[in-house]
Amino acid sequence: MQTKAAILWEVDSPWSVEDIELDDPKAGEVRVKLAASGMCHSDEHLVTGDLPFELPIIGGHEGAGVVTKVGPDVSWLEEGDHVVFGFIPSCGRCPSCSTGHQNLCDLGALMGLGMQASDGTSRHHGQGKDLGLMCMLGTFAHDTVVNEASCIKIEKDIPLERACLLGCGVVTGWGSSVYAAEVNPGDVVAVVGVGGIGANAIQGAKLAGAKQIWAIDPVESKREKAMEFGATHTAASMAEAMEPLGEASWGTMANKVVLTMGVGSGELMAEALALTAKRGRVVVTNIHPAMEASASMSLLDLTLMEKQVVGSLFGSGNPRADIPKLLSLYREGQLDLDGLVTKTYTLDGVNDGYDDMRAGKNIRGVMVYD
């Protein structure tokens, strides 16, 4: 069939919205008519080259939609089912999946190539070329074909233009606080960067019982919005937070520091550690440029204060359990998804959406399709 998708043909160029040819799903795959896609900063890393995935690629990894065609050997999905895509697939059989770490599923290793997990080929073609898919999904499109391992079936009463946010930002941010940082009741938490990920790290920290939540972001409107998600204090930078956070925590500093800036910075790691309490933990959720291989930090501080630095992918969670769980928190009014969506766009507006993200205007921009 023919459909429309936003393609990145080369680094440092705009997304090109074009008609593409989409093949039928093969064994283990489904075709999905997308309802909406969130615009995460990780797709911007494709544009800047910080994430050096194979091009050309259809962008987008935060999507939800309706199954329109089921390939052979898929027993648990049928036409009309509503699905959210996990931005990392979960096969259910690899060592990570089978030990409760679906976020680290072995199939995730295929992500940089962007082809179908089943046979390494493409179902998407544009201008006579095979197209890769961001996170093997390609949600910047009206329709896509994905492996069943990427699909999480959800209940039909949840609006898909909210549910899409669970495909990356919500689980990543919430899990960064709840699972990776292991925020405890009474903790002082600092969340550095209040975008789609940071806003959810704040919500996670609040639900986990943090006493103080410091939202750190240079953009004033982000700091204001952070208070609505549960932040108790704000600062424009880690350097500016140092003194007031020290005072407010009676010298203890932050038990947990969650890094969710647009682009990670090795140079800023020293500040993050300085903000961290004895036996505290820094969670590195933001993505650093692939070529950045050094970070500055006091390693003596690490030893003498028993500080920890940990990475976190997809909130260190299990998408098959966490996506339904967080949707149920939304349904019961304990998780704000509506407030995350600052502005909606059409597929043709993809470049406007990323201009707004670069200008710091959006917590999350979401493309809503017909």
Ligand X SMILES: NC(=O)c1ccc[n+]([C@@H]2O[C@H](COP(=O)([O-])OP(=O)(O)OC[C@H]3O[C@@H](n4cnc5c(N)ncnc54)[C@H](O)[C@@H]3O)[C@@H](O)[C@H]2O)c1
Binding site for ligand X (CB under 6 A): 40-42, 45, 168, 172, 192-198, 216-219, 222, 237, 260-264, 285-287, 312-314, 357, 360
Q: How many Å separate Cα 14 from the centre of its chain?
A: 21
Nearer to ligand X, 40 or 337 (CB): 40
Strands 82-85 and 63-70: antiparallel
Q: How many Å separate Cα 61 from the centre of its chain?
A: 8
Instruction: Judge whether 45 counts as a catalytic residue.
Output: yes
> Can you tell me the distance from the alpha carbon of 140 to that of 367, in angstroms, rounded to the nearest whole number?
8
Could you tell which of Zn ion, ligand X, none binds residue 195, using a CB distance below 5 to 8 A set by kind? ligand X
- Catalytic residue, chosen from 41, 45, 82, 233, is 45
- Catalytic residue, chosen from 168, 233, 288, 316, is 168
* Smallest distance from Zn ion to CB 243, Å: 33
Spell out the alpha helix ranges (H) of 332-370: 350-358
Nearer to Zn ion, 73 or 78 (CB): 73
- Catalytic residue, chosen from 37, 41, 61, 177, is 61
- Of 78, 103, 102, 81, the residue nearest 92 (C-alpha): 102
Could you tell which of Zn ion, ligand X, none binds residue 261, using a CB distance below 5 to 8 A set by kind? ligand X
> Can you tell me the distance from the alpha carbon of 64 to that of 182, in angstroms, rounded to the nearest whole number?
28
Closest residue by beta carbon to ligand X: 195
Q: Tokens for 27?
A: 């064994």
The residue ranges that bind Zn ion (CB under 5 A) are 40, 42, 91, 94, 97, 105, 168
- Of 19, 343, 335, 354, the residue nearest 158 (C-alpha): 335
Nearer to ligand X, 67 or 163 (CB): 163
* DSSP conformational letter for 177: I
- Catalytic residue, chosen from 42, 96, 150, 177, is 42
Could you tell which of Zn ion, ligand X, none binds residue 216, using a CB distance below 5 to 8 A set by kind? ligand X
Instruction: Judge whether 94 counts as a catalytic residue.
Output: no
- Contact criterion met (CB below 8 Å) for 303 and 277: no
Could you tell which of Zn ion, ligand X, none binds residue 94, using a CB distance below 5 to 8 A set by kind? Zn ion
Could you tell which of ligand X, Zn ion, none binds residue 97, using a CB distance below 5 to 8 A set by kind? Zn ion
* Smallest distance from Zn ion to CB 155, Å: 23
* Smallest distance from ligand X to CB 87, Å: 7
- What angle (nearest 5°) sits at the alpha carbon of residue 193, between those of residues 192 and 194? 120
* Smallest distance from ligand X to CB 199, Å: 8
Beta partners for residue 119, in sequence order: none
250: left (phi over 0), alpha (psi -120 to 50) or beta: left
* Smallest distance from Zn ion to CB 108, Å: 8
* DSSP conformational letter for 127: T
- Contact criterion met (CB below 8 Å) for 118 and 147: yes
Instruction: Judge whether 168 counts as a catalytic residue.
Output: yes
Positions marked catalytic: 40, 42, 45, 61, 168
